[in-house]
Structure 1
């Protein structure tokens, strides 16, 4: 079968002779049969490159299977106009261009290097800044089509404009060599060219394009910001090496003159400029190449962006996406670690000692602490991080990590039983083998958990004497029992003195509470109030301990008043039978049912009950240590948050119906079958229990014949039940189910993050002895106090010496650092980070190269072929001219020789 393109005929037809069916295509050569080109102003003997450069459209009319008629038409012909379509306005040439300028722009666009060179050299009046219909000059067209040689030729002109636009265009397309060529232009010798955005440079010169449509890029985008947006590592590195930087935006609540002016002039542009700047700062390329500590920079930036997402709600999705990008960057670095040293470097950050990563001491984990604070869950739950945490968790306990769960449970039980002995051993010898084992995070956790379990056991045992009921009824006192019974050992003993004093079990509970209060005080002192209030569990601890303290205070107050009354009785009476006591003394002989509602002992018992409930809910704190209960505890915490959100709508609806029903029935007190809705209290009770189906329908019935009020009550009560029970409660269930599903979908990450938070609380130095053994000052604590006082005195003395030395140096006019120069050699942490950054960049570039087999690369290949065609045509033309010259020279030489030969033959 023959090639369908085996024959191509070229015709130059007038617009009237043009065929009716055309297919727009590119002309790249072929078997050309030249007929006539008079309409184009060409001759049939002209070269094929002249045909290719003719200012016309190339169209193909399908004539037969093997023959194609190729026709050149005028751009203004009706057939060509019909072909343009609605997008022609974006590609049509400008009517203000001369023919020379049009040819120049086309040559720059298609990479015709010989034509561009010829016109630059031989057309003195050529306007190199002429623009087409879209406002692009020759430099922009050359850069857009990646013609490096054309770009270099154009950069040789001193009057070249819009170099900044060309640079931004090259950066956006990722043309590294063209970008380097543009940066070599003399205009970039001024450092402001790389730091100023188009909006900041519009009053200087024509470095950027400024027409009615503005420049192609946003006016607030600088070259380095654009390179960071495009993830061009090489270009970002080149720009940074030339001094380009991205200035962080001002604080959102900044009140400086610049921010106020931009906010008032164009608030939208101001917000967009902030987002563009943050997009550049959050770029992995910029984070990797511009920061000495990219991990810290990414962590801080992710937190800042998360806060801005809550402030600027209209751009919340943008800021959340950038915050996630920073988090993913840190996770990517952690994923590239190949040794424990590198993991410790990321988790701990810069250290004071050069060999700190090789020292046997526990790493500081400052970056990990920051990640937990900013809730970088994927970073904390990463296997490399978890493995490092696990090794620290079982510190000083070799072999326990590999033991079975049964062995670990036996260890926990042994620690719980021998906790007093271990505490005494640590108190006596904190630096011994037992002391080092007790300082292990795992042992600290077991000791504290065992201590708290014992505390809960004491709370249970404190109520054990009332499990089967009390001996005395609420309306009985000990005087109603026989003389000499255990309840009445002393005839002068007041009844309150039998119920108010603390039992030995309650004294133990008080000691545990005081130990927990002391532990919380130490935690506040070490962390600071700000850090302490960030953790939600601390609110539970604070509330529980405060309620316990208030309960014991009320109980002590009741005991004091009862003791004063008992002292008065012992001083003035010999018996309490058939005597009249003063009212304030007689009150302490009354049965419980006759006590005042505000009695301190009643208040103490109520507060104690609440504190017990909070104490048992505190068990949830240690549940994340277990893989089975951890996700459940996380879901429970998320459910509590959903309930608090739901309570806002619930309270609004509840208040609306409570006030409405009260206003409707408040006039019918005593005229209803019950007291529902007749008072504000009854209205609250009725509506609240109606949620659980415990209120009656007859609550709205009125005894007399006011049917209109009764019907209104039925309607409101029915609407309330539908709204609260069917709508709002089901909405709450849906919210809880959604939250649980979110946790379930990412249960492993959520659990490991929660477990890491629990573990990290035991990594801190101190808090080794559990409650209540921490109340006894240990020799180690006393030594630490003496050391702290000594260090404070030494710091004060050194500060005084430094200030004196600085004063002397200032008087001598010397620098305070003249004696010892700062070391310029990179630290070990910097070496490790540099190694990790190199791996990250190589991986990012490899991933990008594997994903970029796109239409852009095909277009690039096409442009290279087009440029090669023009070069080959130029070389061919030169060779043809050389050949013509040789032929003429040969002809000149051969003519005299022929004449001589003719003369010889003649004679």
Structure 2
């Protein structure tokens, strides 16, 4: 009797709680007493009642739903009642199995997921590959939460949801069942499927793409679905970063997913325990084309990480240690030496560079040649060569006009019959050396374009700077040479046709006399003037090229990175700056263009003067008198004062301070992560010297070494072998066609694959490569670490709830056993009573 009252109280309390919730159902839920009892038993894990009602109640609708539209299976799964779920899954015609599976996945109930996947509905595996939307199109409520639709988004499949929740074990189970996440089509794809989805609901289409990418970028799916998780994560991070710039409405989401892929790669690298594993991560699967004994590692993954700017991966200690080992190849002792010893090494290379180059030409494969081919020595040699080149530029600037007065209205010659321009256009010995260096650098750039390809070459800004610098040098020297040719022709004419001893008193044709004039009479388009202007620009670019080697130093590297980021900010600022500057320049010109000669200075009277006045006004070098007129036109003057004042306030107070704030923000970003930024920039510099070739710097690379002839012979031999093989293959095809014609007619029409199978023996399954074994070990460690971290981070409320539900189920089982024991005891007492009653009747 007491148990009956307790049950009634619990039922009344639940009904009181559920009472107002009938608003969730428009048509209301009219449940029978039997169905209410069944749903209560499923929700609270009353296994005996559920089992008894499923076995005995023939009229029971086990798909009935409660006030929230949930059936018994959904309630049992939501409360993690495994036994109740297994009992319900045995019934045929059970509805909403898919929603129960998604619910179990979202809560991480692995055993319930396994039980649901054993249901006959998942036997073919088709249900795991179709999304709820695709199921709905088939008039199926398999994934429906209630009559209104699905619990989760309509494009969520079980494997996508498991990946979102980072459920490694569930993802593994689903992958073994054949489930996969289909990669979304390209954003600009115009196929019928994408076009139809975009027209039907563009927002749902974008959300479905986002959900798919969330699944693909999850560490659980990357770890368990890909044969090369590192490569997959790197490529996916780049794709997501590209989509962040395309789908700007989801920029933050895509960037977060891209960073998630990068963190996964860093996490796998962090679990390496020896050099073999680090090399496997950095080089990728090189078992197909193993490097030779003297060949350096390819570092394909590092190059890819640099290309995709995965900075934490490149700056990781494991990666940096391996790169440092390659950097000091054949110079292991120098790595541990002090800065003083390294500086002495650099000084020795500076002094003996010509002799080292000669030795490398003669014996490139000797011990000395191997040392010169080491990345560190290549860097030192190229840096020393470029320093000498800069020294030549400085030396040339100091003595290029030696013996020539710099006054623009004077001329000086070596003898009276010499044309002045012949003396000024001749190349000095420093300029000839500079030309040799420029030719050597051009040859080096050509080799780099040949090896990397034009597309990859222009992707690096330093290459673009080099190309521009060398192009300007070539243009400058070409213009100088053209001026020298014309001056030489004038000198030749004078030598042949002018008899005077002093040409200053001779009557010369205009085109010949021009080359005797002083600089102040030269035309603006004179080749020598153009040459000197281009040469000045090239010198500036040459000295700016020093910034390329600054990342090698820990002190100057972060400064160079900050400078590069500052240049980017300045280019962004220039857009607004130019817009404001042009607006005021045109406005002030229109205001004062009619007052040419009526002002105290020519400011704003022409477009050129307007540009000069406004530009130098930024630096405080323009005067207020620029807007004053000589006439009494106060209205124009007042407008000029206002515009000029607004311009100065806008440019100096607002925009320049905004630029300073932008630069400061960029510097703070670099400073906060200065170590990672510097190591990433240093790795980019190192990798440019890791590739084979380009050992000797300019201008020593202009002389071909015996090794170059040897490699040329090898390449020629390889080309001839390929040609011979191609010819032999063509001959074999002709013979095969002849044999085919001679075969019986029946054999002639048999499938080629069938014939090949009969003539060959099936190859055994290949063993996993060394790279695959290493990746398997690393992924195991990563998954175990992720599971341990998750167990440590999980809140204990879930565990307490699980224990509470288990106790509740156990309570119902104990009550059922007690009820059965009480019933059996009552039957036994009744039998004993009946038996003793019969004995009492017999005794009288």
The alpha-carbon distance between structure 1 residues 49 and 232, as it changes in their structure 2 partners (threshold 3 A), is farther
Distance in 1 (alpha carbons) for counterparts of 2:42 and 2:401: 97
- Is the CA contact (8 Å cut-off) linking 2:405 and 2:411 kept in structure 1? no
Which deviates further from its counterpart, 823-832 or 297-306? 823-832
The alpha-carbon distance between structure 1 residues 713 and 92, as it changes in their structure 2 partners (threshold 3 A), is closer
For residue 889 of structure 1, report the CA deviation from its aligned partner. 2.9
Higher relative contact order (CA 8 A, sep 6+): 2
- Is the CA contact (8 Å cut-off) linking 1:93 and 1:102 kept in structure 2? no
Distance in 2 (alpha carbons) for counterparts of 1:815 and 1:728: 75
Distance in 2 (alpha carbons) for counterparts of 1:319 and 1:806: 52
Q: Given the alignment of the two structures, is residue 879 of structure 1 paired with residue 821 of structure 2, yes or no?
A: yes
Q: Equivalent residue for 2:480?
A: 555
Q: Given the alignment of the two structures, is residue 814 of structure 1 paired with residue 741 of structure 2, yes or no?
A: no
- Say which of 597, 618, 624 aligns to 1:691: 618
Which deviates further from its counterpart, 832-841 or 101-110? 101-110
Distance in 2 (alpha carbons) for counterparts of 1:657 and 1:468: 46
Matches within 5 A, 1:111-510: 111-204=45-138, 205-209=140-144, 213-353=148-288, 361-465=295-399, 471-478=405-412, 487-488=413-414, 490-510=415-435
Residue ranges of structure 1 left out of the alignment (5+ in a row):
1-45, 59-73, 479-486
Q: Equivalent residue for 2:784?
A: 842
Distance in 1 (alpha carbons) for counterparts of 2:520 and 2:105: 86
Q: Equivalent residue for 2:448?
A: 523
Q: Equivalent residue for 1:106?
A: 40
The alpha-carbon distance between structure 1 residues 309 and 552, as it changes in their structure 2 partners (threshold 3 A), is same
Distance in 1 (alpha carbons) for counterparts of 2:824 and 2:36: 30
For residue 135 of structure 1, report the CA deviation from its aligned partner. 1.7
- Is the CA contact (8 Å cut-off) linking 1:93 and 1:133 kept in structure 2? no
Distance in 1 (alpha carbons) for counterparts of 2:141 and 2:342: 75
Q: Equivalent residue for 2:793?
A: 851
For residue 472 of structure 1, report the CA deviation from its aligned partner. 4.5
- Is the CA contact (8 Å cut-off) linking 1:554 and 1:600 kept in structure 2? yes
- Is the CA contact (8 Å cut-off) linking 2:562 and 2:666 kept in structure 1? yes
Q: Equivalent residue for 1:712?
A: 639
Distance in 2 (alpha carbons) for counterparts of 1:754 and 1:865: 59
Matches within 5 A, 1:646-795: 646-795=573-722
Deviations 1:805-839 (A, max 9, x none): 68949758434894562643110000000000000
Q: Equivalent residue for 1:23?
A: none
Distance in 1 (alpha carbons) for counterparts of 2:764 and 2:481: 64
Q: Equivalent residue for 1:30?
A: none
Deviations 1:70-117 (A, max 9, x none): xxxx94xxxx4xx77977756999532222212111111111111111
Distance in 1 (alpha carbons) for counterparts of 2:403 and 2:678: 43
Distance in 2 (alpha carbons) for counterparts of 1:827 and 1:694: 71
Secondary structure of the structure 2 residue equivalent to 1:670: coil
- Is the CA contact (8 Å cut-off) linking 2:21 and 2:67 kept in structure 1? no
- Say which of 508, 514, 525 aligns to 1:587: 514
Distance in 1 (alpha carbons) for counterparts of 2:299 and 2:34: 68
Distance in 1 (alpha carbons) for counterparts of 2:285 and 2:312: 22
The alpha-carbon distance between structure 1 residues 644 and 354, as it changes in their structure 2 partners (threshold 3 A), is closer
Distance in 2 (alpha carbons) for counterparts of 1:529 and 1:593: 44
For residue 196 of structure 1, report the CA deviation from its aligned partner. 0.4
For residue 362 of structure 1, report the CA deviation from its aligned partner. 1.9
Secondary structure of the structure 2 residue equivalent to 1:628: coil
Compute the TM-score of the two structures, normalised by the length of structure 2.
0.95
Secondary structure of the structure 2 residue equivalent to 1:202: helix
Secondary structure of the structure 1 residue equivalent to 2:335: coil
The alpha-carbon distance between structure 1 residues 679 and 173, as it changes in their structure 2 partners (threshold 3 A), is same
The alpha-carbon distance between structure 1 residues 53 and 304, as it changes in their structure 2 partners (threshold 3 A), is farther
The alpha-carbon distance between structure 1 residues 324 and 600, as it changes in their structure 2 partners (threshold 3 A), is same
Secondary structure of the structure 2 residue equivalent to 1:400: helix
The alpha-carbon distance between structure 1 residues 563 and 223, as it changes in their structure 2 partners (threshold 3 A), is same
Secondary structure of the structure 2 residue equivalent to 1:57: helix
For residue 425 of structure 1, report the CA deviation from its aligned partner. 0.8
Deviations 1:430-474 (A, max 9, x none): 100010000100000000000000000000000122699953421
- Is the CA contact (8 Å cut-off) linking 1:228 and 1:285 kept in structure 2? yes
- Is the CA contact (8 Å cut-off) linking 2:106 and 2:162 kept in structure 1? yes
Distance in 2 (alpha carbons) for counterparts of 1:153 and 1:619: 76
State the superposition RMSD in angstroms.
2.2
For residue 572 of structure 1, report the CA deviation from its aligned partner. 1.1
Q: Equivalent residue for 2:533?
A: 606
Residue ranges of structure 2 left out of the alignment (5+ in a row):
741-750
- Say which of 477, 492, 495 aligns to 1:570: 495
Q: Looking at CA atoms only, which structure, 1 or 2, has the larger radius of gyration? A: 1
Distance in 1 (alpha carbons) for counterparts of 2:34 and 2:731: 77
The alpha-carbon distance between structure 1 residues 851 and 704, as it changes in their structure 2 partners (threshold 3 A), is same
For residue 568 of structure 1, report the CA deviation from its aligned partner. 1.1
Q: Equivalent residue for 2:833?
A: 891
For residue 210 of structure 1, report the CA deviation from its aligned partner. 6.8
Distance in 2 (alpha carbons) for counterparts of 1:252 and 1:750: 31
Distance in 2 (alpha carbons) for counterparts of 1:397 and 1:837: 35
- Is the CA contact (8 Å cut-off) linking 1:92 and 1:133 kept in structure 2? no
Deviations 1:410-446 (A, max 9, x none): 0011011111111111111110001000010000000
- Is the CA contact (8 Å cut-off) linking 1:49 and 1:873 kept in structure 2? no
Deviations 1:712-744 (A, max 9, x none): 000000000000000000000000000000000
Secondary structure of the structure 2 residue equivalent to 1:56: helix
The alpha-carbon distance between structure 1 residues 820 and 552, as it changes in their structure 2 partners (threshold 3 A), is farther
Secondary structure of the structure 2 residue equivalent to 1:314: helix
Secondary structure of the structure 1 residue equivalent to 2:333: coil
Q: Given the alignment of the two structures, is residue 56 of structure 1 paired with residue 11 of structure 2, yes or no?
A: yes
Q: Equivalent residue for 1:482?
A: none
For residue 586 of structure 1, report the CA deviation from its aligned partner. 0.4
Deviations 1:206-232 (A, max 9, x none): 312175632100000100000000000
The alpha-carbon distance between structure 1 residues 734 and 805, as it changes in their structure 2 partners (threshold 3 A), is farther
The alpha-carbon distance between structure 1 residues 811 and 237, as it changes in their structure 2 partners (threshold 3 A), is closer
Distance in 2 (alpha carbons) for counterparts of 1:260 and 1:812: 39
Distance in 1 (alpha carbons) for counterparts of 2:27 and 2:78: 17
Distance in 2 (alpha carbons) for counterparts of 1:798 and 1:49: 93
- Is the CA contact (8 Å cut-off) linking 1:700 and 1:710 kept in structure 2? yes
Deviations 1:660-697 (A, max 9, x none): 00000000000011110000000000000000000000
- Is the CA contact (8 Å cut-off) linking 1:202 and 1:210 kept in structure 2? no
The alpha-carbon distance between structure 1 residues 786 and 661, as it changes in their structure 2 partners (threshold 3 A), is same
For residue 860 of structure 1, report the CA deviation from its aligned partner. 1.5
The alpha-carbon distance between structure 1 residues 579 and 730, as it changes in their structure 2 partners (threshold 3 A), is same
Distance in 1 (alpha carbons) for counterparts of 2:376 and 2:321: 15
The alpha-carbon distance between structure 1 residues 52 and 90, as it changes in their structure 2 partners (threshold 3 A), is farther
Secondary structure of the structure 1 residue equivalent to 2:601: coil
Distance in 1 (alpha carbons) for counterparts of 2:518 and 2:43: 104
- Is the CA contact (8 Å cut-off) linking 2:22 and 2:67 kept in structure 1? no
